[in-house]
Amino acid sequence: MKFFLLAAFIIISFNNKVEANCNITISSDTTQGSLDCADDQTMTVNEGVTWAGTVKKMIDVEDDDGFTLNNNGTIDGTNFSMLFFSDTANSSIVNNGTINGIAEVIIINGTRGDFSITNTGTISSENHAAISSYESVVSGNVTLNNSGLITGNGVSGSQTTHNPVWIGLINLGHCSSESHEAHCTGNDDADGTGSHTVINTGRIEQEGRGAFALRFNNRVNNTITTSGTIYGGPEQAWTVDGSGSSRRIGMDIMVIKCDDTPHWDSCGPSGSGKTTINIEKGAQFRNGIDFNGTKGEIVIGAEINRDLEIRIFDYVQEHADNLTITNNSEHEVTLTEQVLTFSNGDNNVWGNITPSRAVEAASKRTKNHSGKGDEALGDVAEYYNAGIDGILIIKGERLEVSQNNRKFRSENTLTKFRNFYNAANNIGYNSQRCSTLDENRDDEDLKDCNTGFVKMFNSFQERNHVYEGRNFGGVGMNSPIFLNDSLVSNTFFGYSRQNNNFEDRTSTDNDNFTFGIKNSYQNAGFEASLTPLVGLSLQRNEDFDTDKSQTIRKTFLSEFAGINAKISNNFEQDENNFFTLGFESSFSAQRYPEYISQFTDGELKVKESFDQLLSGTIEAAYTNILPQNDILGKIYLGGSGFKNYNKKIGVSARGFNSDVKNNGNETSSGYHAGVSLLKKSKNFNFEIDFRYEDQEGLIDKIASLTLNRRF
C-alpha cells in the first residue's frame, strides 16, 4: 500500500497539474503550476502583478469552451506550451500587459470553433512560436487583433529536428481529415470551414533568425489588414541542408500551398482559400510576401502616404496568375516580374527558406509536416519555387502639408480690410455738429469737422487652438476737399503689417499699402460715406511638411481692392448727448497668385485664387460731450456678418489634389463692442478707441489712436 501511495505522489508531483477553478483574479505575485481550466471560466491577472511558472501548460484548456484570459499584468513562463488551448471553441485571450515564454507561448491546437487574441501589450517568445495553431485548426474563425508588440527570436540554425510550422513567429492554419495531426485525421468536421483574420496596427517582428513572421496555408481564406509593421526574420548566411542554398530568410507573410503529394500534405490534398492583404497607411514590410502559387489579393489603401517596394514571391504558377492587385488609392502601383536575390547577389527563387526535420516515412508519420515546399523526402529544409517572382511598387509618398494658413485666409483678409475701413471712418471731433451744417457756422468750424488726421491701430486676433495674429498700422487722411456744403472728399494713404502664426506650424506675414478716397455726405443729422480703396500686399507664406518637418517660405505680391459704404443718423437729445444708429457694408477682394514650393517629398502648388468678401455691420452708439473739458465719450455695440464667395483654394501636393474647400466657412456672424474717448487741445485732437469683437470664435482685440491736426 505504501508503494502505491508513493507512486501516486510521485506521479502527481511530476505532472504538477492542478484540477483548478480558473474563474479567478490574480491580484498578487505568484508562482503556480499547471491549471486545468473548464467551460465558461474567466481568469484575470491584475495590472502590476506577475504570474510566473516553470511547467508546461500553465493554462490548460482542453475540450473546454468559452474560456477567457484577461491579462493586465505579466505572465512569464520558462517551459513550452505555456498557454495551451486544445479542442476548444469560443475561447479568447485579451492581453494588455506582457506574456513572455521560452517557446511555443500560445498554442491553439485542434480548435473547433472561433478563437480570438487581442493584444495591446507585448507577446514574446525567447525562441520560436509566439503563437501557433500547428496547422491543426479543425473549423472556426481565428482572429488576431494586434495593436501592441508580438516578437520572437526563432529556432536556431542547428535545430533541424523541428517542424517548420513551429519555427517562426506566428502560424495559423486549418487542417483536413487527411492531415496527420491527431485532431484532424479522419475528422469530418475538418472540412475547410472558417477563416483566419489578422488586424495589425502595431508591430509583428521575427527578430533573431531567418524565419517567418506570419504563416498561413490555403485551406481557408486568410485576411491580413495592416497599418503597422510586419517583419520576417533577417537574412542569414547559413547553409540549408539539401537545398543547395547558403542563406536563409524569413518572409514577412507566407502562405503554404496544400498539396496531395505524399509527405507534403500538412493541410490535406487541396486548398482553395484566398489570402487577402490590405495594405493601409503606415504599413511596413522588410523581406517580402511568399504566396507559393496560391490565390491572393493585395488591396492598396486610399490613405497610403509612403513609397513602398515589396518583394512578391511565387505570384504566378504554371503560367496562371493567381494574384489580383486592387488599387483604392490615387497612386501609381506596378507589379514587375523580376529575379529576386539575397543581399550578396545570389538568386533567391524560393522566397521563404527555413530549416525543418527530415520528412518521416508514411508508416512512421505522426505529425503534420510542412505543406508543399520540401523538394525531396530527406530534406531538412522548407523551400518551394512555384513560379514567377517580382517587385510590387507603390508610389505612395505624399506631400503632407499643413493647410490652416489657407483654410483661415479669408478671415485674415477681412481683418486687414476692416482695420483700414474703421480707420478711414474716423468719428472726428464734434461730428454731431458737422451734420447740421448751420448756415451761421464759419469755415473754421467746418474744417474742424473734416480736418486731416492720422489714425494708428494695433489689433490682436486669436482663434483658440488654431492661430494667433496681429495687425498694426495706420491711415493718414488728407485735408478735405469741399465739393459743396454737404459733400466732402478726403484722400488717404494707409499701411499695415499683418502676421498670423498657426499651431500647425504654418504662418503668413504681409505688408499692406493702400490708397483710397473717402466721400462723405452730411445733412440734418444724416451722414453717408462711400470709401473705395486699392492696395498692394507683399506676402510671405510659410508652408510646413508635417512628415519631414520641413518649412518652405515663399514671397510674392498680391493686389487688393474694396469699397465701403456707411450710413448713420444722429438722434440728438440735447447739444451734448445723442444716439447714433448706423449700418455699414463692404465688398472686398484680393488676388493671390500661384506659387510653388519645392519640398523634399515633392512640389506644393498653390493655384491662383481670389478672396471675395461681402460684409455687413449694424451698430448703435451713445455719445456724451463735456464741453467744459473738451472731452467726448462714446460707447457702441453692434453685430456683423460676412460671406466668402471663394469656394475653394486650389492646392496640388506632389501631384495630388489637396484643395482647401470652404465648406462650412462660407458665412459667419459675430458681435462687437467698444468705447472711444476724444480730447480736444489747441492744435490737436486726440482720440483713443478700444474695441472687442467675436466672429464665431475669432477674437479680435483692437486699440487705436487718432491724431487730428490742421495741416
Per-residue pLDDT tens over the stretch 469-517 = 999 999 988 877 778 877 888 899 999 999 999 999 999 999 999 999 9
Residue 347: other Cβ atoms inside 10 A: 11
Task: Check residue 711 and give its pLDDT.
Answer: 45
Q: How far apart are CA 616 and CA 313, in angstroms?
A: 67
With a cut of 70, which residues of the chain have pLDDT below it? 1-20, 156-166, 238-246, 260-266, 268-270, 318-319, 354-383, 426-451, 682-683, 708-711
Whole-model pTM?
A: 0.70
Distance of CA 219 to the CA centre of its chain: 36
Mapping DSSP to helix (H, G, I), strand (E, B) and coil, where does residue 421 land?
A: helix
- 3-state percent helix, strand, coil for the chain, nearest multiple of 5: 5, 55, 40
Question: Which whole-number Å values give the CA distances from 636 to 69, 182, 472, 545, in the listed order?
Answer: 68, 89, 22, 44
CATH code for 404-674?
A: 2.40.128.130
Task: Check residue 680 and give its pLDDT.
Answer: 76
Q: Which three cell numbers stand for residue 341?
A: 536575390
Q: Which three cell numbers stand for residue 550?
A: 520641413
Residue 546: other Cβ atoms inside 10 A: 12
Task: Check residue 319 and give its pLDDT.
Answer: 61
Span between the terminal Cα atoms of the chain, in Å: 128
- Write down the H helix ranges in 383-491: 404-407, 409-424, 431-434, 443-449
Task: Check residue 428 and give its pLDDT.
Answer: 46
CB contact at 8 A, 218 and 275: yes
Q: How far apart are CA 581 and CA 578, in angstroms?
A: 10
Q: How far apart are CA 279 and CA 532, in angstroms?
A: 57
Residue 178: other Cβ atoms inside 10 A: 17
Convert the pLDDT of each residue in 340-397 to its tens digit.
Answer: 988 888 888 788 776 666 655 555 554 444 445 444 445 566 667 777 899 999 988 8
Q: How far apart are CA 336 and CA 266, in angstroms?
A: 32
Closest CA to 233 of 254, 253, 212: 212
Task: Check residue 76 and give its pLDDT.
Answer: 97
Q: Which helix (H) or strand (E) holds 155?
A: none
CB contact at 8 A, 673 and 639: no
Mapping DSSP to helix (H, G, I), strand (E, B) and coil, where does residue 246 land?
A: strand
Mapping DSSP to helix (H, G, I), strand (E, B) and coil, where does residue 7 land?
A: helix
Task: Check residue 2 and give its pLDDT.
Answer: 41
Task: Check residue 425 and give its pLDDT.
Answer: 82
Q: How far apart are CA 366 and CA 368, in angstroms?
A: 7
Closest CA to 412 of 226, 504, 255, 537: 537
- 8-state DSSP, 184: T
Q: How far apart are CA 132 and CA 460, in angstroms?
A: 63
Task: Check residue 65 and give its pLDDT.
Answer: 96
